[in-house]
């Protein structure tokens, strides 16, 4: 901001998901941050100053109080997609999350139909370690029984992505990873009708069509989009066809009340080329030995919400949501060493139905020399997964996994001084999970004849209630710097829905226990000389009774290796995360109209199994945890032109708790280190935007995961070099 004696023109924006923006403008003297209430002006340490640099930023922390949420002192990020020159056409996660410290990305879906990311040593598998949301409500299959996200919003329709690390469990439930929220683009408020269309083509038959329209007519605002996506895939047997539609409408009968409804429909059919062994990958990573593996996903999500503003300092929000979805897969789950001779196929049919409500009340109030905030909320949730497995016409299992959840939580941000705040919180959870169904055990002789066939009925019930808590602190010695710390307990209930799946590569321990632990953060973030942004933190993640996988061998006569999923041991992860970006041109010349911004994002992790007498596991590295992650790059913008290039490095990692280096099937073994370069170029003029880029510029041959089931089993190769070109027109 230059001279410290200069006054600031501040635009204060209060917003809530599903609500219109409310703004006030104030002139603030140096070293004062204010929030205007109905009758009094208070100084407050949580104000975000929106200067010109903030408007250019690609990533910022969440405001201390935002809508009906308290994020003070928490490790949080907001990705502002409109300011990023990245490949949103295929949801390139390497680029999108490049400036989020500690994010581990699994590559293997070049078309971007699914997202697999995690943070701080947790599993990226379908982003199941995060509580994944869209506009603040659940979109995963089943938060209790199957918290995996087969649906990922198309980033062409997303305005920003909000991430809250492990401490988010106090507000968003029992997830060690925290919360991931996709905030969809809002309708234009100044015109009754606005439309845009985007067409993308790329390598390996990639085609994407995206169209959106929206506007505001009187008290009603609406927005919608439709996306079609097709890809033939880099590997054979990788065809994808996907359709995604979204519609939302907001009615504002008064300045105090907002009513909002939205619906999302997502359907896709994907052929899966199967996994490879290490030898097969070394000889030709593009090959496929499976032609009959398919997955169909049908996702429907409905949300109804309302926000009432009692005054400028208090509001209540209630949100109802429902997910009606299904995932159906068919294929050969034998290891890639076994040739597919056209025999019977395995079928897994899942149907998910869940409904819920979250209600929150936020009250701002004056305390000492600032504004404090109190948040209280409740969650009611009922979910059910119906899973059937059969081998062609032979039924193998049929289960229903119902679950219920009641939770009440409260947090209070106490502003002790204009510089210092303390935010304690507590959450009470009641969880009831059940399994009701049957499974079949069939024994075959060496000739493949059935010698025993028996059905077993099974009913399992688990109910528990518990309280967990946390506290955070924030100290801002000036408007450019914040020191923050946070401690939060975490809990994650076991899921029943994998217990009776017949898979030669994967066995689940039926006596698994719930997981518990805590997250602790200590960091500093802010700006230096207006154009240097930084965020550095250390953390400790304790995970008790951590569920993981161990390499075991099958019985005679084959003795094939497989993964055994169980409570492996306690684990702890210690990490350091550092992000620094510099706007070089504006650092030299405060009036520069162009920007040149290099960045570096590095994460150091040490994740180990502890407190176990099993010598095969003790002090071993936790699986799927690379000890070092590096994202670095450069972006340039001038007028309507912008471009970016980045390098992503992921250190080697293991795929099971015993740290096995190799297995004959490819299901278990080391995942070697790899580095990938991506670049994107964009030019916008008037109502036209042209965008293009190259993914995996250096044409690296690598893989980021070994799968025990679909889309494997075995090594899942990442895509080779690909290009894309997009043209967008708006009116």
Residue 156 φ/ψ, nearest 5 degrees: -65, -20
Domains of the chain listed by start with CATH number: 22-730 (2.40.170.20)
Residue-wise over 336-361: b if at least 16 C-beta within 10 A, else e? bbeebeeeebbbbbbbbbbbbbbbbb
- In the predicted model, what is the mean pLDDT of residues 359-364? 98
List of long-range contacts for 589-598, beta carbons under 8 Å, 24+ apart: 590/2, 590/530, 593/638, 593/639, 594/636, 594/637, 594/638, 594/639, 595/56, 595/635, 595/636, 595/637, 595/638, 596/634, 596/635, 596/636, 597/634, 597/635, 597/636, 598/632, 598/633, 598/634
Q: Where residue 555 falls among pLDDT bands split at 50, 70, 90?
A: low
Q: What is the Cα–Cα distance from 668 to 662, expressed in whole angstroms?
A: 6
In this prediction, residue 26 carries a pLDDT of 42
Q: Which residues contact 590 (CB under 8 A, 6 or more apart)?
A: 2, 530
For residue 595, the SS3 value is strand
29 pLDDT higher than 90: no
3-state per-residue secondary structure call for 7-59 = CEEEEEEECCCCCCCEEEEEEECCCCCEEECCCCEEECCCCCCCCHHHHHCCE
Measuring CA to CA, which residue among 727, 716, 622, 525 is closest to residue 129?
622
341 pLDDT higher than 80: yes
Query: Could you tell me the sign of the dihedral formed by the alpha carbons of 332, 334, 336, 342, in that order?
Result: negative
In this prediction, residue 530 carries a pLDDT of 87
N-to-C CA span, the chain? 36
Contact 220, 250 (CB under 8 A): yes
pLDDT in tens, 677-690: 999 999 999 999 99
Q: Where residue 568 falls among pLDDT bands split at 50, 70, 90?
A: confident
- In the predicted model, what is the mean pLDDT of residues 406-433? 96
Q: Where residue 405 falls among pLDDT bands split at 50, 70, 90?
A: very high
Q: What is the Cα–Cα distance from 365 to 356, expressed in whole angstroms?
A: 30
Lowest mean pLDDT among 47-51, 195-199, 400-404, 605-609: 47-51
Q: Which residues contact 583 (CB under 8 A, 6 or more apart)?
A: 53, 56, 531, 532, 595, 596, 597
Q: Where residue 19 falls among pLDDT bands split at 50, 70, 90?
A: very low
Contact 396, 389 (CB under 8 A): yes
Q: What is the Cα–Cα distance from 678 to 95, expressed in whole angstroms?
A: 7
In this prediction, residue 562 carries a pLDDT of 64
* Between 268 and 42, residue with greater pLDDT: 268
The whole model's pTM is what?
Answer: 0.91
Q: Both tokens of residue 505?
A: 């590569």
| Average pLDDT over the chain, rounded to an integer | 88
- In the predicted model, what is the mean pLDDT of residues 400-426? 96
- In the predicted model, what is the mean pLDDT of residues 395-415? 95
Contact 304, 248 (CB under 8 A): no
């Amino acid at each position: 901001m230059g001279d410290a004696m200069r006054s600031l023109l501040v635009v204060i924006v209060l917003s809530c998901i599903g609500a219109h923006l409310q703004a006030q403008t104030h002139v603030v003297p140096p070293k004062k941050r204010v929030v205007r209430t109905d009758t009094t002006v208070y100084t407050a340490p949580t104000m975000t100053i929106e200067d010109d640099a903030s408007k250019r930023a690609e990533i910022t922390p969440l405001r201390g109080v935002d809508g009906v949420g308290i994020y003070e002192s928490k490790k949080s990020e907001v990705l502002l997609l409109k300011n990023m020159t990245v490949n949103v056409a295929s949801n390139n996660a390497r680029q999108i999350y490049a400036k989020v410290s500690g994010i581990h990305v699994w590559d293997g879906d070049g078309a971007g139909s699914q997202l697999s990311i995690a943070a701080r040593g947790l599993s990226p598998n379908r982003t199941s370690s995060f509580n994944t949301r869209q506009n603040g409500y659940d979109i995963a299959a089943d938060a209790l029984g199957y918290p995996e996200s087969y649906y990922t919003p198309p980033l062409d329709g997303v305005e920003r992505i909000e991430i809250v690390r492990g401490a988010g469990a106090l507000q968003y439930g029992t997830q060690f990873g925290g919360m991931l929220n996709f905030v969809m683009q809002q309708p234009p408020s100044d015109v009754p009708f606005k439309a845009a269309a985007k067409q993308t083509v790329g390598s390996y038959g990639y085609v994407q069509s995206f169209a959106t329209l929206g506007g505001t007519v009187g008290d009603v605002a609406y927005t919608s989009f439709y996306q079609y996506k097709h890809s033939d895939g880099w590997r054979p047997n990788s065809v994808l066809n996907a359709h995604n539609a979204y519609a939302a409408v907001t009615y504002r009968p008064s300045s105090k009340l907002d009513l909002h409804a939205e619906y999302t429909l997502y359907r896709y059919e994907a052929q899966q080329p199967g996994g490879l062994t290490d030898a097969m990958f070394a000889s030709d990573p593009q090959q496929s030995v499976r032609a009959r593996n398919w997955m169909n996903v049908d996702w429907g999500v409905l949300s109804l919400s309302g926000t009432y503003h009692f005054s400028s300092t208090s509001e209540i929000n209630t949100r109802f949501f429902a997910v009606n979805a299904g995932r159906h897969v068919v294929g050969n789950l034998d290891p890639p060493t076994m040739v597919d001779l056209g025999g019977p196929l395995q079928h897994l049919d899942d149907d998910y139905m869940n409904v819920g409500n979250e209600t929150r009340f936020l009250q701002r109030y004056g305390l000492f020399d600032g504004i404090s905030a109190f948040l209280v909320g409740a969650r009611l949730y009922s979910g059910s997964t119906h899973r059937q497995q059969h081998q062609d016409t032979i039924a193998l299992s049929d289960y229903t996994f119902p679950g219920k959840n009641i939770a009440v939580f409260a947090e209070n941000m106490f502003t002790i001084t204009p510089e210092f705040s303390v935010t304690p919180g507590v959450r009470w959870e009641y969880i009831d999970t059940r399994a009701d169904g049957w499974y079949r055990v069939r024994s075959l002789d060496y000739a493949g004849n059935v010698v025993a066939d028996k059905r077993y009925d099974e009913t399992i019930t688990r109910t528990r209630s518990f309280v967990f808590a946390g506290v955070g602190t924030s100290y801002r010695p000036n408007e450019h710097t914040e020191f923050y710390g946070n401690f939060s307990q975490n809990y994650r209930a076991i899921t029943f829905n994998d217990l009776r799946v017949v898979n030669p590569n994967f066995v689940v321990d039926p006596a698994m226990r719930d997981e518990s632990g805590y997250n602790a953060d200590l960091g500093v973030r802010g700006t230096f000389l207006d154009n240097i942004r930084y965020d550095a933190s250390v953390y400790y993640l304790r995970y008790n009774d951590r569920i993981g996988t161990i390499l075991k061998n099958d019985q005679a006569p084959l003795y094939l290796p497989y993964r055994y999923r169980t409570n492996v041991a306690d684990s702890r992860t210690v990490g350091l995360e550092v992000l620094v970006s510099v706007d070089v041109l504006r650092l030299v010349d405060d009036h520069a109209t162009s920007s040149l911004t290099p960045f570096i994002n590095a994460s150091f992790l040490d994740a180990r199994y502890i407190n176990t007498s099993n010598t095969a596991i003790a002090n071993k590295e936790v699986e799927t945890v690379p000890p070092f992650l590096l994202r670095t790059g450069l972006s340039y913008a001038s007028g309507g032109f912008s471009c970016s290039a980045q390098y992503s490095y992921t250190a080697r990692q293991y795929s099971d708790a015993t740290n096995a280096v190799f297995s004959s099937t490819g299901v278990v073994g080391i995942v070697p280190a790899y580095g990938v370069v991506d670049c994107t170029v964009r030019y916008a003029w008037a109502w036209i935007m042209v965008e293009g880029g190259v993914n995996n510029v250096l044409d690296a041959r690598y893989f980021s995961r070994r799968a025990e089931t679909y889309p494997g089993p075995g090594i899942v190769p990442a895509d080779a070099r690909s290009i894309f070109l997009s043209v967008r027109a708006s009116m």
